[in-house]
Amino acid sequence: MQQPKLFALLPDYVSTPDGMAIDSEGNLILACPNYADPSQPGCILKIDENKKIRKWVDVPVSEETGHAFPMGIAFGPDGDLYICDNQGWSGAPDLVFKGRILRLRIKNNKVVKTTVVASGMEHPNGMRIHRNHVYVTHSMLSRVKDPSGLLVSCVYRFGLEDENIRITNTLADRTILATFLTYNKEIQYGVDGIEFDKAGNLYVGNFGDGAVYKITFNDDGTVRENKVWAQDPGQLVSTDGMIIDGEGNIFIADFCANAVAKVAPNGKVTRIAQSPDTDGLNGELDQPGEPIIWKGRLILSCFDLVTGPHKVNTKHEMPATMSELEPR
């Protein structure tokens, strides 16, 4: 297995880094929900080719809650930045069902227009944009009671021009693309990582099951098939963020195991790096949450916050860190 290296120590106004994207100029863009220190605003960082780090913008807060917690992010074809504002993940009872999907127009390092695509969401998490839609993993649908008693989660699909959609977090939501059950009763947490391949197939990671689903589509955009495509508990415990390379390999942040796995195009799962409980200061994987391939390297944001059963991580430390590996 590879030995991770330190990519960056993040500024002290960042306590929990998460989602990433690459802008039109090739800069690495990083979302920081800052759950470990809510006194710091949720913000977006820009990292240039020389690894110079600066705050790009603070994410506009909800008028209702006074908070913003950016997780998954993606750029639209016009350069606007779409954001999963996951208010409920904070754990505050009054923020449950307050999550939003935002569309930000940013000019000269300022947010000049904010569009609320959707609101009222329980747990919006990962995001990808494909053609004319934004796809969002929604890790919990606690209002939906399956007869099995297992957790239900889903993927929502919105049009890029949608605005002010009010989500009910029930199966009545017409923007639900597909639903999932998490079968692992010890880790009842649903879909998280999300990615498309070149052929337009959608891959979704079910966190608690450590399973990757493959969704194929009919010509009209409806789901043709949604089934488990890759799963190997010995190599992959949990599926957080994921990224695909040009050869069709999917790299997955194994949040629970402080590890990274690669899934080959044939579905074979291989763990490529793993770290023990760590502060990450030497580049170790400190609860990796999101991967991205940037300038030929596999970059990982280290969430470093969640502890308890089935987690290698035992505590949160500062400064927040990012790791890097070779994407192989």
Q: Where in the sequence is the domain holding 208, given as residue range(s)?
A: 13-267
Confidence label for 114 from pLDDT (cuts 50, 70 and 90): very high
Has residue 243 been placed in a domain? yes
Residue 279 lies in a domain: no
Residue 97 pLDDT: 97
Average pLDDT of the residues in 287-304: 98
User: 290: pLDDT confidence band, cut at 50, 70 and 90?
Assistant: very high
Give the pLDDT score at 152. Answer: 98
Domain assignment of residue 320, yes or no: no
The answer to whether residue 36 is domain-embedded is yes
How many angstroms separate the CA atoms of 254 and 248, rounded? Answer: 19
* Residue 216: CB atoms within 10 Å: 13
pLDDT tens digit sequence for 8-28: 999 999 999 999 999 999 999
User: What is residue 35's predicted lDDT score, i.e. its pLDDT?
Assistant: 98
Report the phi/psi class of residue 118: left, alpha or beta, with left for phi > 0 and alpha for psi in -120 to 50: beta
pLDDT band for 305, please (50, 70, 90 cuts).
very high
Q: Render pLDDT for 65-111 as a digit per residue (tens, 0 to 9).
A: 999 999 999 999 999 999 999 999 998 999 999 999 999 999 999 99
Q: What is the mean pLDDT of the chain?
A: 98
Within-domain flag for 22: yes
Pairing label, strands 223-231, 297-302: unpaired
Q: What is the pLDDT of residues 163-185, one digit of tens each?
A: 999 999 999 999 999 999 999 99
In a domain, 160, yes or no: yes
**Which CATH number covers residue 29?**
2.120.10.30
pLDDT category of residue 149 using cuts at 50, 70 and 90: very high
Q: 276 in a domain, yes or no? A: no
Question: What percentage of the chain exceeds 90 in pLDDT?
Answer: 99
Q: Are 57 and 104 in contact (CB under 8 A)?
A: yes
Please write the tens of the pLDDT for every residue from 132-146.
999 999 999 999 999
d(CA 305, CA 38): 13
Report yes or no on 312 lying in a domain. Answer: no
The tally of domains found in the chain comes to: 1
Q: Which of 88, 71, 135 is nearest to 290 (CA)?
A: 71
